[in-house]
Amino acid sequence: MTTETFADLVAAEDVLLFVNAAITATGQREFHSGADRQQLSLDFLHAYVRVNYRRVYAASLALGINDHNAVRIVRGLLEYAGEATAQEKRTEGRLIAARLAKLPPQRVYRLFRGLRAAKVNNRRTRAIMRDWLAARPDPAHDAVKYRAGLKNTARHAHLRLDGSGSGELGDFLFRPGKLPRYRHRLLDAWRRAHYEQGAVDELPFTVAEGFAARHGMKREAFLERMAPRMTRLERLRTQGQRGTAAPRELPAGVDLTVMPLTRLALYVLTFPLEPRSRHREELTSALRTAARRAAGPHAGGWGRVAAVLDDSYSSSGSGEKRRRPLAVALACHFLLEALAAPGAYTPLWTTGADDPLLVVPRGPTPLGSRVLDALEYGPDRLVIVSDGWDNAPPGLAGEVLRVWRTRLDPDRRTAVVHVNPVYDADGFDVRRLSPGVPTAGIRDAEDLPALVGIAQFSEGRTGPAALHSYLDRQVARFVTAGREGDPL
């Protein structure tokens, strides 16, 4: 009996380790480790969990994992379908369908291309491709914007394409030039754009860019003409290239309040300090609006909250993840402000900054002293947002938390949780500050309330059965929401 219990505990630890990795790691370079180490570490984890805990591997699709790992899990489940039972395949099929519906289409087409290259062409894979394509709102739009991806998918799954309403979609993809014109407006605009500059304006922005270069259109004039057809993110991405919007100004006509919280925090940090200060009212209002939306029913329900927020130099991230750790901390700051009771939130930045809008990555990481300061306020919750590299002095935060938990607060009047936005390739997990404090990986601040629930399992006070029960509930909710068309 003891051996079985120990094995169950090890399994639960493996599950939590994988979930943390799947939330934070993308195989890209981090501040403390290169892309190769990240990729090797992820390769091992995916293979290990898929082989030993396939049910959990599939269930991870229902959690807040990032798109990179969601695609890897889907491919692993389909490529090694022979390892699953019939019941597992049915559950996996529903999970895969629900997750693909949430992924950006370019990632899905890239996944399908990878499956074709790996010669994964079983009946279930073809059915998943067919159903996903059938749910796309406008096949003609995909034919123009994701031409190669749609062609590859149709060939691999042996699909008949007539989604344009006249049977001309197949001709457009596989027999270009056969028809003198197309009935579908977008297909015909693509045909005319090869020789008619005016047709460029009718195409999706990313497709129009190529034609604009071919026609020798000036970049500024092209962006001005395309502005009405650009998405919000395209406007933000190109704001510094248009004469109407200087790089240090907010773009005209873009409502920042509708942006997701973490993405908005990333955008705010792209501005130098002077424009941030000048547009303080608009940026702060947008961040607070996004935070209230992310808090949802939890708003104001967390009581007294103290936060230790890492803005040390390592929060600058890497070339591939520029300023992402700092953006997560900034987004968590505004979210925790919304979650705390009115007037009961205390933020403590590691640099001592007192203006969240003007934070910049600098200095060492004195987590220990900041944790001491935070505990003096006697909060109901202490949330630490950091990559876990406590170095001023090293290890002080872990010792402070150990003494606090074992000597000063054994009854756990203060709930402490550490959320870490950075994957540690060497440890196959996110770095932890103390064994007695639950730690969860985090990618987007919006997931913080759910991650606090997952983090409780890493304390060892909740058994493996409770963890699996939690996963089952998440899977049921995820699949049901996907079936009903919920935004999740």
Pair 270, 234 in one domain: no
State yes or no: pLDDT of 398 exceeds 60: yes
Mean pLDDT check: name the lowest of 305-309, 313-317, 364-368, 422-426. 422-426
pLDDT at 346: 97
| Residue at token pair 């501040």 | 31
Q: What is the mean pLDDT of residues 72-101?
A: 94
- DSSP label at 346? E
The domain containing residue 426 runs over which residues?
262-462
pLDDT at 294: 94
Q: What is the mean pLDDT of residues 39-50?
A: 93
| Order of all β-strands in the sheet with 381-385 | 345-349, 305-309, 381-385, 415-420, 439-441
pLDDT at 266: 93
Pair 350, 228 in one domain: no
pLDDT at 376: 93
pLDDT at 246: 38
Question: What's the whole-number average pLDDT of the chain?
Answer: 87
DSSP secondary structure, 18-63, as one string: HHHHHHH--SS--SSS-HHHHHHHHHHHHHHHHHH-HHHHHHGGGT
State yes or no: pLDDT of 2 exceeds 50: no
Angle 129-132-134 (CA atoms, 0-180°, nearest 5)?
Answer: 105
pLDDT at 330: 98
Angle 459-460-465 (CA atoms, 0-180°, nearest 5)?
Answer: 125
The answer to whether position 392 is within a domain reads: yes
pLDDT at 451: 85
Q: What is the mean pLDDT of residues 43-66?
A: 92
Cα 52 to Cα 45, 49, 192: the distances in Å are 11, 5, 54
Output helix, strand, coil percentages for the chain, rounded to the nearest 5. Answer: 60, 5, 35
Mean pLDDT check: name the lowest of 150-159, 239-248, 391-400, 421-430. 239-248
The pLDDT tens digits of the residues spanning 326-371 come to 999 999 999 999 999 999 999 999 999 999 999 999 999 999 999 9
Q: Which amino acid is it at 224? A: E
- DSSP label at 305? E
- DSSP label at 184? S
The answer to whether position 28 is within a domain reads: no
State yes or no: pLDDT of 244 exceeds 50: no
| CATH code, domain carrying 359 | 3.40.50.410
CA distance 250 to 268: 10
State yes or no: pLDDT of 485 exceeds 60: no
Peptide bond into 393 cis (omega under 30): yes
The pLDDT tens digits of the residues spanning 174-193 come to 888 788 899 999 999 999 99
CA distance 322 to 265: 12
Between 163 and 366, name the one with better pLDDT.
Answer: 366
State yes or no: pLDDT of 243 exceeds 50: no
Confidence of residue 457 (pLDDT cuts 50, 70, 90): confident
CA distance 55 to 89: 10
Cα 175 to Cα 68, 151, 298: the distances in Å are 34, 11, 55
Q: Which amino acid is it at 275? A: P
pTM beyond cutoff 0.75: yes
Q: What is the mean pLDDT of residues 410-432?
A: 89
- Given 247, 273, 292, the domain boundary residue is 247
Three-state DSSP string of 134-150: HCCCCHHHHHHHCHHHH
Pair 399, 458 in one domain: yes
Cα 477 to Cα 307, 455, 471, 480, 487: the distances in Å are 30, 19, 10, 5, 12
Query: 3-class DSSP state for residue 348?
Result: strand
Q: What is the mean pLDDT of residues 118-126?
A: 91
**Percent of the chain clearing pLDDT 70 (strictly above):** 92
The answer to whether position 473 is within a domain reads: no
Pair 271, 239 in one domain: no
pLDDT at 165: 47
The answer to whether position 341 is within a domain reads: yes
Q: Where are the alpha helices (DSSP H) in 146-259?
A: 147-157, 168-174, 185-193, 205-215, 219-226, 232-238
State yes or no: pLDDT of 247 exceeds 80: no
Pair 398, 297 in one domain: yes
Beta bridge partners of 419: 385, 440
Confidence of residue 3 (pLDDT cuts 50, 70, 90): very low
Contact (Cβ atoms closer than 8 angstroms) between residue 402 and residue 371: no
The answer to whether position 320 is within a domain reads: yes
Cα 209 to Cα 227, 355, 476: the distances in Å are 12, 40, 42
Strand 381-385 and strand 305-309: the pairing is: parallel
Pair 310, 221 in one domain: no
Confidence of residue 245 (pLDDT cuts 50, 70, 90): very low
Strand 345-349 and strand 415-420: the pairing is: unpaired
Pair 351, 310 in one domain: yes
Between 263 and 436, name the one with better pLDDT.
Answer: 263
The answer to whether position 69 is within a domain reads: no
The pLDDT tens digits of the residues spanning 191-239 come to 999 999 888 988 999 898 889 988 988 888 888 888 777 877 777 777 6
Pair 227, 372 in one domain: no
- Given 184, 214, 247, the domain boundary residue is 247
CA distance 353 to 359: 7
Domain count, the chain: 2
Pair 224, 356 in one domain: no
CA distance 275 to 475: 44
Q: What is the mean pLDDT of residues 11-15?
A: 77
Between 375 and 176, name the one with better pLDDT.
Answer: 375
The answer to whether position 160 is within a domain reads: no
CA distance 38 to 41: 5
Pair 233, 380 in one domain: no
Cα 368 to Cα 309, 359, 394: the distances in Å are 12, 20, 9
Query: 3-class DSSP state for residue 430?
Result: coil
The answer to whether position 233 is within a domain reads: yes
Sign of CA dihedral 384, 446, 349, 319: positive
pLDDT at 446: 93
Pair 396, 352 in one domain: yes
CA distance 210 to 374: 53
